[in-house]
Amino acid sequence: MVCFDLLKNTIFFSGVLMNIINKLKKYKKNKIYFQILNKKNKIKYLFSSYISHKKKNYIKPLITRKKKMDFAKPYIPKKRKYYKNIQNYQYKAYNLSLTYKYVISPLCDKIVSYLPLNLSSNIITIFGFLVNLLPLILTIYYTGLNGQLPCPKWLCFFSSICYFLYQIFDNCNSKQARRSNSTNPLEFLLDHCFDSCVSFFIILILGSIIGIDDIWSYFMLFLMTTAPFYFCTWEMLINGELIFPKFNGISDGMIIIILIELFTSISGTNFWKKGFMIFNSQISINSIFCLIGMCSGLFYCGLSIYNVLIKQKNEKMIKKFLHLIFYCLLIICFGFVIMIGNKSQIVSIYPKVIVLLFGFEFAKVMGLMYLSIIMNKEFQPYTIITVVPILCIMSFIILHNIFKYEFNFTNEDGILIFFFFYNFVAWGHFMYYCFTQMCEILNINILTVSRREQNDVSVVDIHMSTILEEKKTELSE
């Protein structure tokens, strides 16, 4: 009887062992692994406490998926609520400017009426961005990274034409999207991500035209364009809509910049370098212009804060105002580099590189903020790709200039150049992978017209079902 029971148990556990081997082969193919305990060079598998012979002979392992090191970490979490918010998002902005109402908008309506319906609005956006990128490359080529060479008169005229065309394309893209019934969050995100880059492109072009060659003037111009841009977007994030006043930098400021470029194409760059005696000190015209521009930018920042406080009267604003700390940190780091890192050749000789460094840092954060607006998600600016460059630059300059610590591997110029390329690559990484995700979620192509159709099954449901099916196939056996 004992031998019979021993034989029965041997057959039972041999079947269990064969089942284990088959399971291991299947899990190995699917890249799912058992949690193992390695002790004294002996591999022991963790079994369940008891398996009844009446049930199916199987072992339920403790499994963990091996995570891949994916460079393309998704910027949009794979959750249904975010996909629904992306599909249902509607951009709400109102421009009360008289220039826009009576000049720009009618002109764009007339131009759009001649465009084919199958022309994608994103193509117009990309073309407008390239039109504004061309004068930037030419001004850097002719005036240098230091800006000490005079800008040719023909280039001033050419820059005014390009900037006017950029403004026209920037307004025509949304009108073309509504005309072709192809409005989507992708068009909104692409447009405003390129606008955030143009906000610091234009100060490099304008600085070269009016003869700026010092870093402090570029710092004031940087505040003139990026500060109201950041605060207006923050206002949209909090209030859900954006209302431009009757005189704003987008429509009316564009006219001022174009007139300055046209005037310089006649008078020349040397006009802006003339100085006046104020309080026994000589101040040039371009420095006065930069100071006035910085004050106007800060004024519109205060206007955005006022609009938020008026609309969010009964809300707790402490957490929402924390979003503004990042931009303040960015500006502090910019000023810190100028004041303490003055021994650097890049800071003193090539100020445009510093503007590009902090400009692409600014563009990254603006892209994340616009993505939070579309997803209706809490904005989190303090991430690795945004905070690390600021902290590393400030730490290096403090250690090198204040504590006199010498680094053997690099100097200030090397750190600044490294993080310039780092910010540029991080911005390109965001643009590529974020828009790839958006195209997959909305089931559209970035360069073709795709009309929204009301189907029984939404695009989000289809995309989520495919994700669930992929997970089931990976975990099924």
Domains of the chain: 2-65 (no CATH), 80-442 (1.20.120.1760)
Q: Would you state the pLDDT for residue 219?
A: 94
Per-residue pLDDT band at 19 (split at 50, 70, 90): low
Flag whether pLDDT at 56 surpasses 80: no
**pLDDT given for residue 70 in this prediction:** 44
pLDDT tens string 127-148 = 999 999 999 999 999 988 877 7
Given a contact cutoff of 8 angstroms between Cβ atoms, the answer to whether 261 and 209 are in contact is yes
Distance, in Å, from the CA atom of 423 to the CA atom of 429, rounded to the nearest integer, reads 10
Among 72-86, 218-232, 461-475, which is the least confidently predicted range? 461-475
Q: What pLDDT does 398 receive? A: 82
Comparing 248-257, 309-318, 321-330, the range with the smallest average pLDDT is 309-318
Of 382 and 131, the one with more pLDDT: 131
Q: Residue 113: is its pLDDT beyond 70?
A: yes
Average pLDDT over residues 374-401: 86
Q: How confident is residue 425, by pLDDT bands cut at 50, 70 and 90?
A: very high
User: pTM higher than 0.85, yes or no?
Assistant: no
The per-residue pLDDT for 402 is 75
| Radius of gyration over every alpha carbon of the chain, rounded to an integer in angstroms | 29
Q: Which residue has the higher pLDDT, 7 or 110?
A: 110
Span of 111-120, 123-132, 289-298, 452-461 with lowest mean pLDDT: 452-461
Question: Does the pLDDT value for residue 35 go beyond 80?
Answer: no
CA end-to-end span of the chain: 38
Res. 111: pLDDT tops 90: yes
As a 3-state breakdown, the chain gives helix, strand, coil percent values, each rounded to 5, of 65, 5, 25
Provide the strand spans (E) within 74-218: 93-95
User: What residue type is 32 in one-letter code?
Assistant: I
For 275-306, the pLDDT digits (tens) are 777 777 778 898 999 999 999 999 999 999 99
Does residue 95 carry a pLDDT above 80?
A: yes
Q: What is the arithmetic mean of pLDDT over 178-196?
A: 90
Which of 55-69, 312-326, 332-346, 422-436 comes out lowest in average pLDDT? 55-69
pLDDT, position 149: 84
Give the number of other CB atoms < 10 A from CB of residue 465: 11
Mean pLDDT across the chain = 79
Reference 98, options 228, 251, 260; nearest CA is 251
Q: How much is the pLDDT for 340?
A: 77
| Pick from 201-210, 221-230, 462-471: least confident | 462-471
Range among 12-26, 43-57, 209-223, 439-453 with highest mean pLDDT value: 209-223
Which stretch of 11-20, 361-370, 433-442 has the lowest confidence by average pLDDT?
A: 11-20
pLDDT tens digits, 336-357: 888 876 667 788 788 899 999 9
User: What are the phi and psi torsion angles at 276 (to 5°)?
Assistant: -125, 150
The predicted pLDDT at position 23 comes to: 54
Is the model more confident about 174 or about 448? 174
pLDDT at res. 444? 87
3-state secondary structure of 189: helix
Between 432 and 339, the higher pLDDT residue: 432
Contact 71, 451 (CB under 8 A): no
Is residue 152 classed exposed, middle or buried when 0-12, 13-18 and 19+ CB atoms within 10 A define those classes? Answer: middle
pLDDT confidence of residue 403: 76
Q: Which residue has the higher pLDDT, 231 or 48?
A: 231
Quick one: average pLDDT of 381-391? Answer: 86
